[in-house]
Amino acid sequence: MMISVLCLCFANISNAQERCQHKHDDIGKDNVNSIMILRSNGQPVSGVVCEYYESGKLSVETQYKDGKMNGISKSYHENGNLSWETPYMDNRRDGVQKWYHENGNLRLETLYKYDKIEGSRKTYSEDGKLSWETPYINGKVEGIEKWYFENGELFEEIPFRNDKMQGTGRVYSKSGKLRMEITYRSGNRTGPARIYTETGLLFGEIIYKNDMPVSGSCRNGRPLTNEELITLGTGYEILCEDF
């Protein structure tokens, strides 16, 4: 099976190299018309332009038509596996862009419409598991961004409005229990952040202002000291005597 995969990989690279019509060093930019041209005669580039690693292996192949990127551009890891592929229409990303880990598994998937992200951008771990997903509308984050544990359980969800964090975010344990609620306004933590035990009891509360903790208390009413607030940083744990 491994031999078949390797053979297929090198066959794909060989086919790509056969498609190459120009080297990247053979083209330049016409800044007046915003197109790529052949250095030899000044004509707009059409066909496949290729770049190579120092080893001579194919690095990038880009399809051009009348001086503009049109079609699917592809980049390869030096081991021959696909690194990314991006569809273009008149120099703008248009379609599903995919990035890959060196082992060949999908790493990132993004839908573009007229060079703006549209829909859910998804990121995957090296072993193929969904790591996080971010919703976009017309190039801006809009909706609930979600992060996941390796076991597939939801780790964190953050609400976005017009490209900024806005609303109540939540953090969960691997067992699916709510561990923290965070209030976001205009992209910053502002207001109360409540921390819970695995059994669902309130553990403590921290008050944020412009992304900085300014006060807090344990469930038993003990206020957090300034030193505790300073060292709190972005962590989700505080020390309270009753737990």
pLDDT tens, N- to C-terminus, the chain (243 residues)? 333 334 444 445 556 557 899 999 999 999 999 999 999 999 999 999 999 999 999 999 999 999 999 999 999 999 999 999 999 999 999 999 999 999 999 999 999 999 999 999 999 999 999 999 999 999 999 999 999 999 999 999 999 999 999 999 999 999 999 999 999 999 999 999 998 888 888 888 899 999 988 999 888 888 988 887 776 644 445 566 544
Stated pTM of the model: 0.83
Q: Would you kindly state where each structural domain of the chain is located, as residue ranges?
A: 13-125, 142-237
- Residue 2 per-residue DSSP state: H
Which CATH number, 3.90.930.1, 3.40.1050.10, 3.90.25.10, 3.40.430.10, labels domain 142-237? Answer: 3.90.930.1
- What does the buried/exposed string (b/e) look like for 223-239 if buried means 16 or more CB atoms within 10 Å of the residue's CB? ebeeeebeebeeeeebe
Burial class (CB in 10 A: 0-12, 13-18, 19+), 201: exposed
Q: Same CATH topology for 13-125 and 142-237?
A: no
Which residues on neighbouring strands pair with residue 206, listed in sequence order?
193, 216
pLDDT value of position 130: 97
Q: What is the CATH number of domain 13-125?
A: 2.20.110
Burial class (CB in 10 A: 0-12, 13-18, 19+), 51: middle
